[in-house]
Amino acid sequence: MKRSLTLLAAASLSLAVSSAAMAQAIPKPNPRLVVVISIDQFSANLFAQHRAEFTGGLGRLASQGVVYPNGYQSHAMTETCPGHSTLLTGKHPNKTGISANDWYDASVGRQVYCLGDEAMSLAHDPKGRGVSPKNMVATTYGDWLKTVSPTSRVFGVSGKDRGAITMSGHQADGAFWFVPGFGFTTYVPPGASAEARLKPVAAFNAKLAAELAKRPFTWTYADKSARRCKALEADYETGGRKWRAALPIGPATSEADRLRDLGASPFTDKVTLELAADLRDAYGLGDGPQVDVLTVSLSATDYIGHRYGTRGPEMCDQIARLDSGLGEFLDRIGKARGGVLVVLAADHGGADMAERLQDEGYDYERITTRSWLANLNARLRQDLALAYDPVVADGGINTLDIVGPDRKALPLVERVRIKAAALTLVSRQPEVLEAFDVDSLLMAEAPPADTSPEELSIRERMRRSTYPGRSGDIVIAFKPDLVPATAGPTYVSTHGSPWDYDRRVPIIFWWKDGVSRERILPLDTVDIAPTIAAVTGVTPPADIDGRCRPLGSGHGC
């Protein structure tokens, strides 16, 4: 017995020595270029569904990187703008100020876009809606970096303004997004010229226009995915419209439809990656002694998910093309003279369209939002003897604002009276799991900092999405497997719920010669920025929500 214990102790010591040696063999990355990629609406489910098929860039990241398949956007309002705002600020939306894509400002009686800024103009359209990072009250990793390293360059590229701006931050050297029919655009501050602001992308835009004129893009199956994706073709009826899920997409009947089809196709990601790589080459990002940052938000998966759903032949082909495109992109940015750290995540997840899920046996239903709101207002008019509709949902059906006859803010006593009645009525609706008074959420105590994203209550998730003056009066958590969206000709699926199919996203850290590791426990997207900061020697603000996670060996960063 004594000899057995001695052998067991020796074996344990040998294992400990072996583990220590292995730990010493896993160094941290030492990048001169940090590339952060967000794939819009790239859920953990979508990642898992196609992971075995990845052979390109996604395959390289998934097989060679530090992979967290159970990453989380741990707030409730899982939309593009708030989700992107968490990726490089280290803060939840209740601290970034970006509580939703849109919110209603009852003080002036109108909807506000998350990045709306009337002081700015658009380079491609001076009369268009101006945008900037002004509404985002948090700073990003790129902002922290520039504070200590003014020579560092920070660029953001996306298919959407809210993908480019929220990730690149307040001090970016350039934030550019794709507008079909124009190319890549940006915002123009007062006193600046559109020509000067577009200079970094002018040559690319000219080349893009010439290529499209010579060879217009037609979305057909890629050779590598044709057989597998074609097998998913089927006929559906959504919102009273019968259509076939199949490629190629038919020819457009108008110029507006052609541009819409171009945007909601793999072409958007293709040109976004090409421009990002061109900017790396043109500015020598990662070639100098300083750390540079390149953020890339890929929007096509979201556009395609909304329009065609996430489980059909269209998404199948999109993911295959994205895998290939990311492979070419990684090859190009790998030419940087310094080390390159690549981080991949997503702004939110998303479920498939209700009709296809129903065909698969799931009890998935739609909420017809317009009639739902109309019925709520009709009941309140009757119960409270009102001559007008007191509830608006211009920030989304899960966010309600109490207003007066002029659609502006009411005196406090009347607002409280109507809100109480509305909250009671909403809470009784069979499709509602919970409804919250925003004031109570703002006063709620935050959960302990080490609470797992999986263990957060619905109230705690809602609290992380709530920002004063931007979250309405009542927020709603509809029951799982209910889609609060009406199907339209170009819109069949959505996201935005507090449920895991919308919250769970993959998070991957990759660098050349790194050691592949699968880390199955949950990771929050707010942990990304402090993790990058640690490996590049940057100190984040003291009030961030995230914490650094070790990319090398050991428990600490």
67 forms bridges with which residues in the sheet?
508, 518
Q: Rounded to an integer, what distance in angstroms lies between the CA atom of residue 180 and that of residue 192? A: 24
Q: Rounded to an integer, what distance in angstroms lies between the CA atom of residue 356 and that of residue 358? A: 5
Cβ-Cβ contacts under 8 Å for 63 (sequence gap 6 or more)? 54, 516
Alpha helices in 390-544 (DSSP H): 412-427, 438-443, 458-463, 500-503, 528-535
How many CB atoms within 10 Å of residue 107? Answer: 9
Q: Rounded to an integer, what distance in angstroms lies between the CA atom of residue 213 and that of residue 456? A: 51
Out of 6, 55, 80, 486, the active site residue is 80
Q: Rounded to an integer, what distance in angstroms lies between the CA atom of residue 26 and that of residue 12? A: 21
39 forms bridges with which residues in the sheet?
298
Q: How far is CA 304 from CA 18, 141, 271, 313, 490, in A?
A: 48, 29, 16, 11, 10
Cβ-Cβ contacts under 8 Å for 93 (sequence gap 6 or more)? 75, 77, 82, 85, 86, 99, 464, 465, 467
Find, among 58, 194, 173, 54, the residue nearest to 124 by Cα.
194
Given a contact cutoff of 8 angstroms between Cβ atoms, the answer to whether 125 and 47 are in contact is no
Q: Rounded to an integer, what distance in angstroms lies between the CA atom of residue 348 and that of residue 353? A: 16
The residue count for the chain: 557
Q: Rounded to an integer, what distance in angstroms lies between the CA atom of residue 176 and that of residue 386? A: 47
- 3-state SS of 352-393? CCHHHHHHCCCCCEECCHHHHHHHHHHHHHHHHCCCCCCEEC
80 tagged catalytic:
yes
Which residues form the catalytic set? 80
